[in-house]
Amino acid sequence: MYIVHSIFDVPEGKEDEVIDIYRNRSGLVDKAPGFLQFQLLQNERNKGELTVQIYWESKEDYMNWVTGEDYKRIHELEKKYPDQELASVVPKVRKYKVVAE
């Protein structure tokens, strides 16, 4: 299994807006081969720190997703988001190979 975390800090007061965006996401990733699970996490102490966590069957499945057309389409839409303060947020991406369960 392969897990990808995208950790980002949302400007104060924008947390609920971002959470709603993810609650109403397109779901395109859910249809990708090897996709297992999506979660949006919110830090209990720092409400503005959100983490997108996606589980994949393998690193190869993840790499196929990020080089595919649906991934590009989703991320192009993010660049055109009307709230430029949110559009400029850059996540810290962490990738993990599961080595024990």
- Read off the CATH number of the domain in which 73 is found: 3.30.70.100
Average pLDDT of the chain is: 90
Exposure on the CB side of residue 45, measured as CA atoms within 13 A: 0
What pLDDT is attached to residue 25? 86
Q: Which residue has the higher pLDDT, 88 or 57?
A: 57
Q: For the chain, what is the domain count?
A: 1
Read off the pTM.
Answer: 0.86
Give the model's pLDDT for residue 23.
92
Q: How confident is the model at residue 81 (pLDDT cuts 50, 70, 90)?
A: low
Distance, CA of 14 to CA of 89 (rounded, Å): 12
Residue-number span of the structural domain to which 61 is assigned: 2-97
For residue 53, give every residue at least 6 positions away whose Cβ sits within 8 Å of its Cβ, in sequence order, or none: 3, 4, 5, 38, 39, 40, 41
21-47: average pLDDT: 94
What mean pLDDT do residues 35-63 have? 97
Residue 41: both structure tokens together: 């996490």
Confidence category of residue 89, pLDDT binned at 50, 70, 90: confident
Per-residue model confidence (pLDDT) at position 21: 87
